[in-house]
Amino acid sequence: MKEKYMKYYEEGKTTEEAIKRLEEIIAVLRSDDGCPWDKAQTHKSIRSCLLEEAYEAADAIDKEDFDNLEEELGDILLQVVFHANLAKEKQRFDLRSIANRECDKMLRRHPHVFLNKNSESIDKAIEKWENVKRNERGTSTHTESMKNVPDALPALIKSYKIQKKAAEVGFDWEDVSEAFSKVKEETCELLEIYRENEATRIKEEVGDLLFAAVNVARFLGVNPEEALNFTSSKFIDRFGFIEESAGIQGKRLEDMSLEEMDKLWEQAKSGKRGF
């Protein structure tokens, strides 16, 4: 072990010391004597890492795995510190300015807390937050606010946010029945395009159908991303039953007929698994 690096093996006794320790470790990795991989990274090259770590933290939250959540939040913090270091090298910003900028934002967006002692409802607090955010960004139209929804968001979440912004100004269905009708309409249009073999329009019609389904979810107070993830997990569980059942029968899935697998699927769906 290089003597000059021994100090990094000691835990920080305070939050400030721990953050400084991480900052200095990243700086070492980026130095001339550091790691070849770390030295080669840019904001763009590690962009996917930031997204991946955020999803892994979200997964830990869903599973209520708090030990893993601690680790995943550390990985997110690592990404923040790494990006701050990259920017500091170019004299653009650093971790201090990032933290101060966020503190200033929280103060501006919570005037009901820091400038007004009167308690407010959650809806009023959110309304003030959105108003301050629009003013900060100089957003003058509702269309601009839609365009400001990040492209990097999962498509279901992005469409959900866009629809909510439209609903804020009254551009919305009267009730959920109309949203259901739109799903039926889009399904029929997709089927028609498929039958006419118009390949160039299939992608567009599939998108319209998904957008309509998100609208139904919004009316029902369901997060579409969470709903689809739940169904994906349910599918894996039921498929696992089919594969396990095949193994008990001494068969491979590849050797089973669709009818045999469907029968097991219905068995898994009904909860009558038999083992």
Residue 275's pLDDT is what? 46
Residue 119's pLDDT is what? 57
- Check whether 123 has a pLDDT greater than 70: no
8 Å CB contact between 122 and 108: no
Q: The pTM is what?
A: 0.69
Lowest mean pLDDT: which of 144-153, 190-199, 230-239, 251-260? 144-153
For 45-55, the pLDDT digits (tens) are: 999 999 999 99
Mean pLDDT of 25-36: 95
Confidence category of residue 117, pLDDT binned at 50, 70, 90: low
- Check whether 104 has a pLDDT greater than 60: yes
- Check whether 1 has a pLDDT greater than 90: no
Q: How confident is the prediction for the chain on average, in pLDDT?
A: 91
Residue 118's pLDDT is what? 65
Residue 129's pLDDT is what? 65
